[in-house]
Amino acid sequence: MIAAPPLAPSEAFELLLAGNQRFVAGTPQHPNQDAARRTETAPGQRPFAVLFGCSDSRLAAEIIFDRGLGDLFVVRTAGHVAGPEVLGSIEYGVSVLDCPLVVILGHNSCGAIAATRAALADGVSSTGYVRDLIERVTPSVLAARAAGLTQDDDIIAEHIRHTVDLLLDRSRVLADQVAAGRTAVVGLSYRLADGSARLVTTRGLPAEAVAAGRDA
């Protein structure tokens, strides 16, 4: 196992934000991507964050947050929909790997959101397991509609908030970690055009870290 002092949730969040800011500025450092890091991580892993994001090919986590091997424990599904496998993976990240941060990463122009909105508007459901995906996104889109939200960014933000709430409601392990101050959960919305990740919601971060995330 890699010997490294544990990070506080706010420190892990600052590390993640710093990497995204480098990516946006076009000055990535590509840390932990060399042969030495490969050798260092071979015996075990100690990532500083669990990243649960959309499977969209434009959201490659280690690239947009300028990280490397062993830094992020990544879980991805279309529309970041969460089933038992996702919950188990996140719980593994926080309870076994001691990750102090869980990130839910959504993005604009999300195909899962667009498909759900189209299904609700047209009354035509998709076939196969895409239908299950749409059914899992539907509560977020309906909640946004009930709140009078019509813009893509607002609907995406609502889905991110819904995912954060769902994870904490369903996972006692995660909720207990947050309550104890060992882990924080943040929801970020990624902009495809400029590469920036905007803070949408958080549970367990101190106020100064939240302010830094909103100013990033």
pLDDT by residue (tens digit) across 92-105? 999 999 999 999 99
56 assigned ligand-binding residue = yes
Beta strands in 97-183 (DSSP E): 101-107
* Cα dihedral 78, 80, 81, 85 sign: positive
pLDDT of residue 205: 86
pLDDT of residue 5: 67
54 assigned ligand-binding residue = yes
The per-residue pLDDT for range 10-46, each reduced to its tens digit, is 999 999 999 999 999 999 999 999 999 999 999 999 9
Q: How far apart are CA 139 and CA 96, in angstroms?
A: 31
| Average pLDDT, integer, range 189-210 | 90
pLDDT at 189 over 60: yes
Mean pLDDT, rounded, of the chain = 93
What residues does each domain of the chain span? 9-107+154-215
Q: How far is CA 86 from CA 74, 149, 210, in A?
A: 10, 28, 25
154 assigned ligand-binding residue = no
CATH of domain 9-107+154-215: 3.40.1050.10
| pLDDT-derived band at 123, boundaries 50, 70, 90 | confident
165 assigned ligand-binding residue = no
Lowest mean pLDDT among 3-7, 82-86, 114-118: 3-7
